[in-house]
Amino acid sequence: MVRRAHRPHTGGMKVFLVEDSVPVRERLEAMLAAIPGVSVLGSAAGATQAIGAILAAKPEVVLLDLSLAEGSGFDVLRELNARAPEIDVYMLSNFSTYPYRSLAETLGARGYFDKSKEFERVRDVIATRAAIHA
């Protein structure tokens, strides 16, 4: 189990999106915009771009797709867990079988959502986190 450092309250919860599909990214942005206290700091479509932008932006939460334009979500997750373990990462994917979920958990993901069946749960988890964070 990965241990995470406590983050001080910073007034609102900041989220970063890593998703290479524009329609999915826009849907996530719209969903998050409807949650009070949540702001999207930025987005990236590939692993290398995502890692640099996330480390610079320092969000509390990252929503991370498994399949990216360059690299994979697991590449991003490994790097964030090593360099910024205080960031909570939630993965989204169309690959929902046990090996993917298990690897995501092993690498430090806080949750793993099947895009085709659990997309709306992402909103619920982020809204709950934002309410606690407020």
Tell me the per-residue pLDDT of 15-48, one tens digit each, with 9 for 90 and over: 999 999 999 999 999 999 999 999 999 999 999 9
Identify the DSSP state of 93: E
Neighbours of 41 (CB within 10 A): 17
> Within a 10 A sphere around the Cβ of 4, how many other Cβ atoms?
14
| Rg, Å, the chain Cα set | 13
**Which tens digits make up the pLDDT trace of 40-77?**
999 999 999 999 999 999 999 999 999 999 999 999 99
* Alpha-carbon distances of 6 from 2, 53, 54, 58, 98, rounded to whole Å: 13, 21, 18, 14, 29
Rounded CA-CA distance 89/77 in Å is 7
Give the model's pLDDT for residue 13: 95
- The set of residues, in sequence order, having a beta carbon less than 8 Å from that of 26 and lying 6+ positions away, is none
Q: Band of the pLDDT at 9, cuts 50, 70, 90?
A: very low
User: What's the token pair of residue 71?
Assistant: 């690299």
Domains of the chain and CATH, by start: 13-131 (3.40.50.2300)
Residues 92, 103: Cα–Cα separation, whole Å: 13
